Structure 1
Amino acid sequence: MKIGFDASKYIEEQSKYILERIDAGNSERLYLEFGGKLVHDKHAMRVLPGFDENAKIKLLQKLKEQTEIIICIFAGDITTSKTRQDFGITYDLEVLRLIDTFRKYDLSINSVVITRYEDQPAVNMFINKLNRRGIKTYKHFYTKGYPTDVDTIVSDEGYGANPYVEVTKPLVVVTGPGGGSGKLATCLNQLYHDYKRGKKVRYAKFETFPIWNLPLKHPVNVAYEAATADLKDVNMIDSFHLEAYGEMAVNYNRDLEVFPVVKRIIEKITREEAEYKSPTDMGVNRVGFSIIDDQAIRYASEQEVIRRYLIAKCDYKKGKIDEDSLLRSKLLMDDLNLKVEDRAVVKPAWDYAEYKRSLHPKYENAVVMAIEMPDGSFVTGRSSRRMVAAAAAILNAIKQLCGLADDIYLLSPLVLETIQHLKTDILQNEKSSLNCEEILTALTISATTNPSAQVAVEKLLLLKGCKAHCTAILSDRDEQTLRDLGIDVTCDPEYMTTNVYFN
């Protein structure tokens, strides 16, 4: 994929702009709400080819002496086991992963705030887990009077009912595992308590998407809507910005809806006229200034819209999202005149599956995966009694990268039979076909005696960034293995079997 984004320019310009915000306004502290993913921002990496998925944490690392971090998580996301799609882990586990990642970058973690807390066993268990590992936690309740009764919100009954998070550094980053985590409420809660203590502090927002200085219907902004279809986010022209400055800026519905309330709350807390005239004013987003190839960005973003639609179809089949979210994803596809087949790897998977089915009735239920290789060619693999389609496709892909003929075995059939014997006859597993992890483990062991297997193992690194498509929904384990390899995979919304548990 062509590079369309200058990552080094972005880190330099963004860090400079944040420092300007910290120094402006003669205040003691800046609360910076971080929207999106602070680390491993794979969405940004996909739609902005050239973007460093860890760019945001790297720029914070440059400011680490001045920075501490508060992580927010909505209690409801713990009880519903909401999942981060990129990694396939729940939001509570994502909080733990964030803590480890921040420590790796030598950033100071202040605490975890449980927002809209309710006394539920799963939530209390999570709090206990954090406390017993020495991580401070705070419980914030529903804010009384929100969103209309500003007098109650900015009072001891509103924000005053929540505890103050004790902070010491001039930049406090407030982040979370995803949208709706309660980051804004936590920032405003802190503003209220700081002003009661006689401290002058400020608030700003770091939201990568939508990109405010690109057109409303630019594919990169449409891709943001596709990524948040379940939250029902809609990009809109910032009418407040247009009225105040006479220039167009793009924001999204939740920020625009809440801005008048936030503005009144800040004015009530500070007893001064708000420094911001629009939601765009609140932002410190400089990502639009680092785009170097608009066409590359457009193409990558269109691919992301298709990818999100395919994921939505599978999530709907699994019961994870409602029909409105699926229809929203389809409408965004239609807005850009896109078809599923515009994801280049889809049709090779469909065509090979159709070809195999035409050969013999025994292939009627064959599952196929296609992988788009770094040189633009396609490699396929089908399910068999030996292995799942994804495992077969990976083996065929690395054989091509090694220049090995298709009929050369990387794994001895005897090795596969031995593992299957263990799996079904000893461990009493219902499925005999080996999954991706089992095949890769066997390949790694075979590399100790098979030179071809040894070369093939090293070629696995070259699959990072490749796209893949499967004609059936992958198992969770196979999907995770493909993610770990860095393969961007989508599926058709069909199950491999009619089983509801052993599937």
Structure 2
Amino acid sequence: MKLGFDHDKYTRMQSERIMQRIDEFGGKLYLELGGKLFDDFHASRVLPGFQPDSKVQMLLKMKDKEEILIAVNANDIETSKIRGDLGITYDLDTLRLIDAFRSIGLYVGSVVLTRWAGQPAAVAFEQRLNAQGIKTYRHYPIEGYPTNIEHIVSDDGFGRNDYVETTRPLVLVTAPGPGSGKMATCLSQLYQENRRGIKAGYAKFETFPIWNLPLKHPVNVAYEAATADLSDVNMIDPFHLEAYGQTTVNYNRDIEIFPVLNALFEHVWGKSPYKSPTDMGVNMVGYCITDDDACREAAEKEIIRRYYTARCSFLQGHAAKEEAEKILLLMKQLNLNEAELRPVMAAARAKAETTGHPALAIELPNGEIVTGKTTDLLGPSAAVILNALKKLARIPKKAHLISPEVIEPVQDLKCKYLGNHNPRLHSDEVLVALSVSAATNYNAARALSKLPKLKNCEAHSTVILPAVDDNTFRRLGVTLTCDPGYQSHKLYHK
């Protein structure tokens, strides 16, 4: 992957900017973290060189001054909403985040359950957190939010919420995903702090859209594609344009909520320190792009990937039809040509047409495309991984990496003892078999050592993959798309 982003410059500039904002507010700041803090794979895909944990590395520079508050929407817990990139529910991801923060020495102060209405699943989750010694607080729906400012900024609005006790100058407010109520949590805390005579400020750390890139820059458009389910729309910030005569980019929800924030600051301090939503931000990402062309191409590929993901999600019952339609419109606005940007798609389809069975293709780091077909022993996912590893290790295609003595017992286990009807090995099973063979097979060992080379490779399947294969590609870091269809016409698919 061609790099287009300077990670080291980013961690330095971003930490300095946040510390400056803390000082501007007199030593106490609620910093809303937009997007994902851990595992920000979207940012790493559209900004080549940005690491999935770049924001964490930046925050570690200030860890003695900060604590983390996690907001999670009680409705998302009740409906078992799933984080798409990891395939786990928001409540489980909250636990994962707590463990991840603690493992690197960051202090998690509490969890706020937003839009609390006594949802049974949320009650059970609250009890689970309390049993583990994790402080929880409840924030309630506010009638008329976000337009009825007088009601919101009152004892019957923010004043009804639990006050979250914090102890450090920088409070990082994060969440498992969008729509969790991070901003409302921050604003509620400012109101509550003021009632107790504590001066505190608010700022927003939102990676996307990037305020100092053009509105229709592919990186910003990729953000719209990523949030198509939320109906987010990138917009020119009208408040910033009026105040400074400068064109900057923000998104509709921040622009819509800005009058509420202004009213809150005026209520607390007599006047607002911000003239625009852009003023609220501290994002320095745009200053750290080193190759605009590389980021443009990466973002265009991401938009295509989001389109196919949305189409598959609709077929699986996880998304509305309008989500894919919106992303298709974005693709047309940028005149994206999927055949040019992702040649693996045509290669996989050609292989499937030739064999009459599902196929998969993967583009190696040198641009060469390798395909995998369905056989009696292997599914296309397992086949393409083995073929790719052979090519990377310069092993002849006809060479056997896994001996029949290893494959046959695995097939017997699947069919005779585990109740499977399909003896073909999935990708995870073939990797286990490959690792076993590597103990005695030199070629297998060479192939296995090339596995990290698959990270960031583009891949495409002509059918929706089973969850086990999809998870394998995700864990390998392969950027996968699938045609929206199943191998069989059955209604139930594992």
TM-score class normalised by the smaller sequence: over 0.9
Q: Which residue of 1 aligns with 2:199?
A: 200
Report the more deviating stretch, 282-291 or 91-100.
Answer: 91-100
Alignment pair present for 1:463 and 2:462:
no
| Residue 496 (structure 1) aligned with residue 494 (structure 2) | no
Cα deviation code 1:225-255 (max 9, x no counterpart): 0100111111010000000000100001111
Tell me what 1:40 maps to. 39
Q: Which runs of 5+ in 2 are unaligned?
A: none
TM-superposed CA distance for 1:502, in Å, is: 4.7
Written as runs of structure 1 = structure 2, the 5 A alignment for 1:295-310 is 295-310=293-308
Retained in 1: the 8 A contact 2:4–2:291?
yes
Deviations 1:405-427 (A, max 9, x none): 11111112343222112111222
Q: Name 2:245's counterpart in structure 1.
A: 246
List aligned pairs for 1:319-468, cutoff 5 A. 319-341=317-339, 342-356=341-355, 364=356, 366-468=357-459
Distance in 2 separating the partners of 1:282 and 1:460: 43
- 1:21 corresponds to 2:21: yes
Secondary structure, in 3 states, of the residue corresponding to 1:69?
strand
Look up the equivalent residue of 1:443 and give its one-letter code: L
Q: Residue type matched to 1:2 in 2?
A: K
Amino acid at match of 1:471: T
CA shift at 1:183, angstroms?
Answer: 0.4
1:76 aligns with 2:75: yes
Does the 8 Å contact 2:265/2:273 carry over to 1?
no
How far apart in 2 are the matches of 1:502 and 1:184? 38
Shift of 1:36: 0.5
SS at match of 1:33: strand
2:283 aligned with 1:285: yes
Structure 2 residue aligned with 1:214: 213
Distance 1:13 1:220 in 2: 20
SS at match of 2:183: helix
Which residue in the other structure is 2:184 paired with?
Answer: 185
1:371-416 deviations in Å (ceiling 9; x for gaps): 1111110111112231211011001111111211111111123432
Contact 1:14–1:285 (CA under 8 A) maintained in structure 2? yes
RMSD over aligned CA atoms reads 1.3
Q: Report the CA distance between 1:258 and its aligned residue.
A: 1.3
Whichever residue aligns with residue 185 of structure 2, its letter is T
Contact conserved, 1:430 with 1:502, CA < 8 A, in 2? no
In structure 1, the partner of 2:12 is 12
C-alpha displacement of 1:145: 4.2
2:264 and 2:394 mapped to 1: Cα distance?
Answer: 65
After TM superposition, give the deviation of residue 483 of structure 1 in Å: 1.0
**Conservation of the 8 A alpha-carbon contact between 1:188 and 1:266:** no
CA contact (8 A) 1:28 1:199 kept: no
Percent identity, aligned pairs only? 53
2:52 partner SS: coil
Q: In structure 2, what is the equivalent of residue 3 of structure 1?
A: 3
- 1:173 aligned counterpart, secondary structure: strand
C-alpha distance in 2, partners of 1:34/1:495?
38
CA contact (8 A) 1:370 1:378 kept: yes
Select the residue among 483, 487, 497 that pairs with 2:478. 487
Q: Say whether the 8 Å CA contact 1:145–1:158 is kept in structure 2.
A: no
CA distance in 2, matches of 1:502, 1:56: 37
User: Which secondary structure does the structure 1 equivalent of 2:314 belong to?
Assistant: helix
Report what 1:95 is aligned to. 94
Cα distance in 2 for residues equivalent to 1:18 and 1:407: 56
Segments of structure 1 that go 5 or more residues without pairing to the other structure are: 357-363
The equivalent residue for 2:468 is 477
Structure 2 letter corresponding to 1:322:
A
Q: Which residue of 1 aligns with 2:173?
A: 174
TM-score, normalising length from structure 1? 0.96
In structure 2, the CA distance between the partners of 1:355 and 1:145, relative to structure 1 (3 Å rule), is closer
Question: Comparing 132-141 with 9-18, which one deviates more in the overlay?
Answer: 132-141
Q: Give 3-state SS (helix, strand or coil) of 1:284's partner.
A: coil
SS state of the match for residue 450, structure 2?
A: helix
Three-state SS of the structure 1 residue aligned to 2:247 is coil
Secondary structure of 1:469's counterpart equals: strand
Deviation at 1:158, TM superposition (A): 1.4
Q: State the Cα distance separating 1:485 from its structure 2 match.
A: 1.2
Output one character per residue of 1:60-91: Cα deviation in whole Å (capped at 9) or x when no partner: 11111110000001111112222222222222
Instruction: Name the stretch that deviates more: 286-295 or 141-150.
Output: 141-150
Determine the structure 2 residue equivalent to 1:141.
140
Change (3 A) 1:406 1:229: same
SS of 1:155's equivalent in the other structure is coil
Alpha-carbon distance, 1:28 to partner: 3.9
- Aligned residue for 2:108, secondary structure, equals strand
SS in 2 for 1:371: strand
Instruction: Give the Å deviation of 1:96.
Output: 1.4
Following superposition, the deviation at residue 151 of structure 1 comes to 2.6
What secondary structure sits across from 2:481 in the alignment? strand
Query: Cα offset for 1:120?
Result: 2.2
Q: Partner residue of 1:30?
A: 29
